[in-house]
Structure 1
Amino acid sequence: MSVVSPEDRLDAAREQAALWCVRLADDDLSRAEHEELQAWFDADETHRGLLDDAVTAWRAIEEQAASPGMIALRGEALEDLRRAQRERWARPAQRPALWTALAASLVVAVAAGVAWRASLPDVYRTTEGERRIVELADGSRASLDSATVLKVKYESGRRRLWLDSGRAKFSVAKDPLRPFSVAAGDKLVVATGTVFSVERLTGQMRVVLYEGHVAVLDDRTGRSETPVPIRIGAVPAEKLLTPDHELVTSTSSDATVVSPTDPARARSWENGQLVFQDEPMDLAVERVNRYARDKLRIGDPGVGRLRISGVFTSGDTGAFVDGVTAVLPVHAVAANGVTVLKIDRGQKNSAPAGVSSTS
């Protein structure tokens, strides 16, 4: 007398759940089939949950069917379906053969789909006006600014992150054997245990170091195994980046600048403030727009070159526009949910240095 192990019994129940999932997807069940399904539920209280899992996996595969990683798998499953259908119509009495073939395809598809999804990075995102703190698997913490997309994938030998847009500050758990790297375009910031922020803006990446040490690298090949240090003259940039300093590097050239920064000002966005200190208007508008549903747009190149200093509440776009138009040679034109900033020609010869008041 053979003894069935609990593992084999569970595998058999999962296969039966996959079979029922296919039968439910294939057609309406007859009354006899409904009774058979109910009897299977009654036989073991775990069966209903296994069927729910199979249905969830089936729907997930349908949702991802157009994704590149599932195209080949989908083609194989469709071919299995066509072959099983041909057998079904050739031998109508052998309907279970169709179900068995499709159940097998579902089991394979679920396993492949789960493996494929496991290979993808986790994605964390914020919308306009939203900030979020994410606790990562290794104990590190990422603080996401508004309108930010961060991807995270941890592997045995390294911790890899990609900042697709926006800004994030990282408090990195120390693990010298697993470097913590953040890619932003063709730039790579590598740390083992430190506190720093990375920001993506049009045409540039900014790194502020608060504690510890980071290496800022060129990664133009897109492969983290081959990046090289960004250099300022003959000196690698990471040698110049010490705490309370900011590195600004162009994404379209080799231009890189390192300068001291006020740590309180650099962290102000986490407290809901936007602090500008003699910064160009195009950069200020890009940051303001992270928090705004109704966007600002620079309608004149001259506006983008003006410099601005001031403190504003993030999300209060109206106060920013009022402050800018009050002291800069700029006027605002609102239309269709967008406010366009243009040079006020009547004031162009009396432009002040910036906004000095607090709004």
Structure 2
Amino acid sequence: MTVTDDPVRQQASREATRWLILLQEESDDPEISAEFDAWLAAASVNREAWAQTEKAMGLVARLSPGNTSSWCDSTGGGVDMLRQPRRRIPKRAAWTGSVVALAACVALFFTAPSLLLRLRADAMTGTAETRVLHMADGSEVTLAPGSAVSINNKDGRRSVTLLAGEALFSVVHDPAHPFVVKTGNFTTTDIGTVFDVRRTESGVDVAVRSGRVQVSGGSILAQGRELGAGGGLTASVAGFHADERSAEQVGVWADGLLVANDEPLGQVVARLKPYLSGMVIVPSHLSSQRVSGVYSLTDPGRALEAVVQARQGSVHRYSRWLTILR
């Protein structure tokens, strides 16, 4: 369903979800069926909400519970309660079992990575959450949403490992004790600066607001690469690319802003994802279109809509776990 603040549509969507469950539990009750038909005929918004609910859940109206299957593959831990031979299970129990199995799969999918990170991290943030860490030397680390770090201050060292996400570092320079940020195979060393580091799927993205840093890692940057204010560098095991960026725009997410400068829409949405719940799917034809603009992160949902509408697209949210762009 399209993301909207319309309370009528929101109410219709909630009612459609309740009808979905009720019809599964009481599919043989003629009174329930009559009430549902009356609700459906009462308003076009109800029919729209029901059509979207059917599509989202992969069900058809009044589908018999005996024809449904477990929503989680049994090899992945789901309980296929509706296919066990020689055992008759009440409709309510079967439907409830499928819902529980689905909930367990969804919960595991979204929480397992977080649990693993929590074991390694000294500090981390959740969806749409930022956090400022004050170091003993006066330096500050601002964590972006969905980020995690571990900190090593032993024996005079000043080392932070970025385990996930992105962080803005405002460092008190100390030549005798360099401030080092480790991201996978890459290391960013402060030379008196404010800089941003973002962990990517294949490597690291570094941008400098003021001062200088040195980025090194593996054979790609074995000799290191220095960046000054406005300098940027994207590196992976396959290679690296240095570029110039607007220094005043580095780390502006810490001020609640997202800036896009003629960037592929897919990359902009990827930067928004830590502020949004669940999965966001972007079709390839839409992902490659370029957008520019300044968007407020105080309302990530509206920011996503604005980014997509700039390319005549639309946002469809099917649950808190799934959003599809069209």
1:281 aligns with 2:255: no
State the Cα distance separating 1:185 from its structure 2 match: 1.5
Alignment of 1:2-17 (within 5 A): none
Distance 1:212 1:261 in 2: 14
Normalised TM-score (structure 1) = 0.53
Is residue 299 of structure 2 the alignment partner of residue 316 of structure 1? yes
Shift of 1:237: 5.7
Amino acid in structure 1 at the alignment position of 2:234: V
Q: CA deviation at 1:317?
A: 3.3
Q: Choose the corresponding residue for 1:245, options 195, 212, 231.
A: 231
Higher Rg = 1
Cα offset, 1:288, TM superposition: 0.9
Map of 1:335-346 to 2, 5 A cutoff? Answer: 335-337=318-320, 338-342=322-326
**2:199–2:205: 8 Å Cα contact kept in structure 1?**
yes
Q: In 2 relative to 1, CA 242–141 (structure 1 residues): closer, same or farther, beyond 3 Å?
A: same
Superposed displacement of residue 287, structure 1: 1.4
Q: 2:221 aligns with which of 224, 230, 255?
A: 230
Residue 326 in structure 1 maps to residue 313 in structure 2:
no
Match of 1:46 in 2: none
Question: 8 Å contact 2:196–2:250 — kept in the other structure?
Answer: no
| Secondary structure in structure 1 of the residue aligned to 2:192 | coil
- What's the CA shift for 1:123? 0.7
Counterpart CA distance in 2 for 1:157 and 1:212 is 22
Shift of 1:245: 1.3
What secondary structure is seen at the aligned counterpart in 2 of 1:258? strand
Pick closer, same or farther for the CA change 1:324–1:194 going to 2, 3 Å. closer
CA 260–208 in structure 1, closer or farther in 2 if over 3 Å, else same: same
Q: What does residue 63 of structure 1 align with?
A: none
Report the CA distance shift for 1:322/1:122 in structure 2 as closer, same or farther (over 3 A). Answer: closer
RMSD, matched Cα: 2.4
CA contact (8 A) 2:272 2:304 kept: no
The CA distance in 2 between the partners of 1:307 and 1:159, in whole Å, is 39
Q: Matched residue of 1:288: which SS?
A: helix
Show the counterpart of 1:307.
290
Q: Give the distance between the partners of 1:324 and 1:192, measured in 2 at CA.
A: 36
Report the alpha carbon displacement of residue 216 of structure 1 after superposing the two structures with TM.
Answer: 0.5
Q: 1:304 to 1:203 in 2, by over 3 A?
A: farther
SS in 1 for 2:122: strand
User: The residue matched to 1:238 in structure 2 has which SS?
Assistant: strand
Residue aligned with 1:194, SS: strand
Match of 1:79 in 2: none
Q: Percent identity?
A: 27
**TM-score, normalised relative to structure 2:** 0.58
User: Which letter does structure 1 place at the counterpart of 2:148?
Assistant: V
Quote how far apart the aligned CAs of 1:297 are: 2.1
Q: CA deviation at 1:326?
A: 2.9
Q: Which amino acid aligns with 2:306?
A: G
Which residue of the other structure, out of 255, 261, 266, is the alignment partner of 2:245? Answer: 261
Structure-2 change in CA distance of 1:162 and 1:174 (3 Å): same
Contact (CA 8 Å) 2:195, 2:250: kept in 1 or not?
A: no
Q: Tell me how far 1:273 sits from its aligned partner.
A: 0.9
Classify the secondary structure of the residue corresponding to 2:177.
Answer: coil
| Aligned equivalents of 1:325, 1:331: Cα separation in 2 | 6
**For 2:120 and 2:303, how far apart are their aligned partners in 1?**
37
Distance, in Å, in 1 between the alignment partners of 2:194 and 2:276 is: 28
1:248 partner amino acid: T
Report Cα offsets for 1:19-43 as digits up to 9, x if no partner: xxxxxxxxxxxxxxxxxxxxxxxxx
**Is contact 1:150–1:161 with CA below 8 Å preserved after alignment?**
yes
Return the offset for 1:333: 2.9
The CA distance in 2 between the partners of 1:192 and 1:318, in whole Å, is 38
Give the aligned partner of residue 23 of structure 1. Answer: none
Residue identity matched to 1:262: S
Shift of 1:156: 1.6
Which residue is equivalent to 2:144? 145
> What is aligned with 1:225?
none
The structure, 1 or 2, with the larger RCO (C-alpha pairs under 8 Å, 6+ apart) is 2
Greater per-residue helix proportion:
1
Structure 2: runs of 5+ lacking an equivalent: 1-118
Using the TM superposition, give the Cα deviation of residue 153 of structure 1 relative to its aligned residue in structure 2, in angstroms.
Answer: 0.7
Equivalent residue runs for 1:28-177 within 5 Å: 123-177=122-176
Relative to structure 1, the CA distance from residue 238 to residue 263 in structure 2 (aligned partners, 3 Å threshold; closer, same or farther) is same
Counterpart CA distance in 2 for 1:122 and 1:313 is: 28
What is aligned with 1:188?
187
Unaligned runs of 5+ residues in structure 1 are: 1-119, 220-227, 343-359
- State the secondary structure of the residue aligned to 2:173: coil
Whether the 8 Å contact between 1:292 and 1:315 is mirrored in structure 2 is no
